[in-house]
Structure formats: structure tokens, C-alpha cells
Amino acid sequence: MNRFAKCIFVTAAILSLQAPLEVLGALPASAQTEAPATQTSEPSQAAMSKINAYVEFLNRSLRASESLQRYDSWVDMKKGPTGKERIIYGLYSLYDVRKEADAVTAAAAAEPKMPELDSAMLAYLETYQKLAPVIDRADKYYEREDYKSDKMEAGKAFHKDIAALAPDYWERRKAADAALRKEKVKLDLETLAALEKEQGRKARWQVRNVMFRAEAIMDLMPSNEKPVVDMPAYKQALDDYASAVREFDDYALAHPDSFHVFEDQPGSLLSKLRNFGEKLQKTKGDARKGRAGEDLEWLVNDYNMMVSTSQTATTFSKE
């Protein structure tokens, strides 16, 4: 697997699963806090709880995607392992997701109903629970290097199950991710409007607005499954983000010391996104061509840093 393929896989892994929501939602899983003082409607709180449960399971179960990607890096998926491969990497062990899986089942039955998302998450959970035991057993098999004593016999048997289950896993995970994004955007807009109504476009609103627009453009980044970027959509998302950053910067200039650590990050990311867009334009959005793919990992790192620092960005704000 080439360097670009690795890079865009990492991108998809990070961006497809935003961390649990506070009110608007751009927080790393390790930065969950108690509910903020701002009160939103009960339906919104219930919706946030549901989406958080889904996000936590998707984040935790992402290890299966990484394991399949590792397996695919050394196995011919059409033929299966032979034992004669130059390097046999095996797979990755999976995390214990029993608690998160139970939370998904409970969330799907809870209000408010989100038919498309609820159905997609249950379907993904079902497939994951079929695939996970196969990956775990295969991982132990390769870890013990049993293929050296059985001439890859068990490895070939594991491959049949992996090859049969992996397509459904990828399809259902993609569907769950898309449905989650759709519901999350609706909730983000609702909570952003509620925050503006209560506090106005002050520091907290500025951070949340910038992060909402940043997430929208990062969602358009190339992946292994979709390496060609929708350039009209990218341009529109970039324009929206640029507008949010200008308003953010104007507020920061008018209200010094409103933002902790975070202040320069939105503008820095904007500059890099513009340069990335210019490179993509030359290849008609195809990140496999030219040098656009080389910038991808840095963009993801910068965005993830913003996700992290946005949590404490207004800690010392006077407004």
C-alpha cells in the first residue's frame, strides 16, 4: 500500500467519527465534560445522548477497520493468504466494545427516533459482532505464527470468513457514518442557533461556528473509497469556513484574550486548506495525482489539534 493510500485511510478514520458532543460537538473523546451551563431543549439533550452513544461505538470499533486495512496490506483478498508472502503482518487485536454495543442497542430504542440512523447503527452493530470474533481468532493465529506449522490451513479458513464479512462491514459502516453526519449537522445547527439566541455571537459561539464550518470542509477530504474531491462542494465549504474565520478574527481583535491557545489556529488551517484546494484544482480534485496527497496528513493533524483545543478555548473569556 503506497504512502498516499495510508494517509487517506488515516484521514477517513479520524474524520468520519467526530468525538462525543457537548453542545455543538467538536470534542475529542478524552475531553468529555459535564453538561455546560447553557440549557437546551430536552429533545436536543436526548438527541445528543443518542448521538454520543453512536459516536463512542463507532470510535471504539474503528479498530476493526484498521485491522482489515492491515490485513489487506499483505494479503491478496481475491486469493487469500498462501504462506509464501514476503512479510506476513497478521491483523490487529480489537478492543472490548461490549459496553458501547449495549449503549447502541439502548440508544436505538430511545427517543427521539432517528429512523435512518437507528437502523443503520443496528445493521452495523450486527455485522461488527459477526466479524469481530473472526478477526480476534485470526489475530491470535498470526501472532502465534501457527501458519508455520499448519501450512496456512487455518489462515485460509479465516480468510473465507473475512472475505465474506468485510464487504458488508465496510458498506454498513459507511451507511452508519453518513446517517450520523446528517443527524449531527441538524443538531449542530439547532444548538448553534440556541447559543446565539441566548448569548449572542460571543466567544463560545465564535468557536463553535468555526468548528462547525471546519468540520464541513474536512468531511470532503479524499479517502481510499473516494479519492476524487467534489471541487464545487469544496469551494463552497471553504468559502463558508473563510467567512466564519474572518468573523472569528474580527471578534478576537475586538475582544483581546478571549481565546486560550486556539486563537491563531482557525486562520492557520484556512491558509493550508486554500493551498490544498489549489493543488486539487490542478488535478480536477484527484488527490492521487500531483502533490496534494502529501499535505493531507498535516491538514488532519492541524484539524485534530483544533478539535482538542476548542474544548478549552473560552476558559478565560470575559464574555
The pLDDT-based confidence of 203 (bands split at 50, 70, 90) is very high
Name the DSSP letter for residue 287.
T
Q: What is the pLDDT of residue 75?
A: 97
Q: What is the pLDDT of residue 223?
A: 83
Q: What is the pLDDT of residue 11?
A: 36
CB of 180 closer than 8 Å to CB of 54: yes
45 vs 25, more confident: 45
Reported as a single tens digit per residue, the pLDDT across 64-90 is: 999 999 999 999 999 999 999 999 999
The residue among 106, 97, 16 whose CA lies nearest residue 60 is: 97
CB of 104 closer than 8 Å to CB of 212: no
The answer to whether residue 50 scores a pLDDT higher than 90 is yes
Alpha carbons within 13 angstroms on the beta-carbon side of residue 103 total: 15
The answer to whether residue 12 scores a pLDDT higher than 50 is no
From CA 166, how far away is CA 149, in angstroms rounded?
Answer: 27
Q: What is the pLDDT of residue 217?
A: 96
**Percentage of the chain exceeding pLDDT 90:** 79
The pLDDT-based confidence of 100 (bands split at 50, 70, 90) is very high
CB of 173 closer than 8 Å to CB of 125: no
The residue among 317, 274, 262, 263 whose CA lies nearest residue 299 is: 274
318 vs 303, more confident: 303
Q: What is the pLDDT of residue 316?
A: 79
Environment class of 109 (CB within 10 Å of its CB; exposed 0-12, middle 13-18, buried 19+)? exposed
3-state secondary structure of 288: coil
The pLDDT-based confidence of 24 (bands split at 50, 70, 90) is very low
| Mean pLDDT, all residues of the chain | 87
3-state secondary structure of 228: strand
The pLDDT-based confidence of 293 (bands split at 50, 70, 90) is confident
CA 2 to chain centre: 22
The answer to whether residue 42 scores a pLDDT higher than 90 is no
14 vs 74, more confident: 74
28 vs 137, more confident: 137
Q: What is the pLDDT of residue 198?
A: 93
CB of 309 closer than 8 Å to CB of 214: no
The answer to whether residue 242 scores a pLDDT higher than 90 is yes
The pLDDT-based confidence of 40 (bands split at 50, 70, 90) is very low
The answer to whether residue 96 scores a pLDDT higher than 50 is yes
The pLDDT-based confidence of 17 (bands split at 50, 70, 90) is very low
From CA 118, how far away is CA 58, in angstroms rounded?
Answer: 13
Q: What is the pLDDT of residue 129?
A: 98
Contacts (Cβ under 8 Å, ≥6 apart) of 244: 209, 210, 212, 213, 214, 266
CB atoms within 10 A of CB 49: 16
Q: What is the pLDDT of residue 319?
A: 67
The pLDDT-based confidence of 37 (bands split at 50, 70, 90) is very low
Q: What angle do CA 215, 219, 224 make, to 5 degrees?
A: 150
Reported as a single tens digit per residue, the pLDDT across 272-287 is: 999 999 999 999 999 9
CB atoms within 10 A of CB 310: 25
Name the DSSP letter for residue 255.
S
The residue among 190, 253, 242 whose CA lies nearest residue 214 is: 242
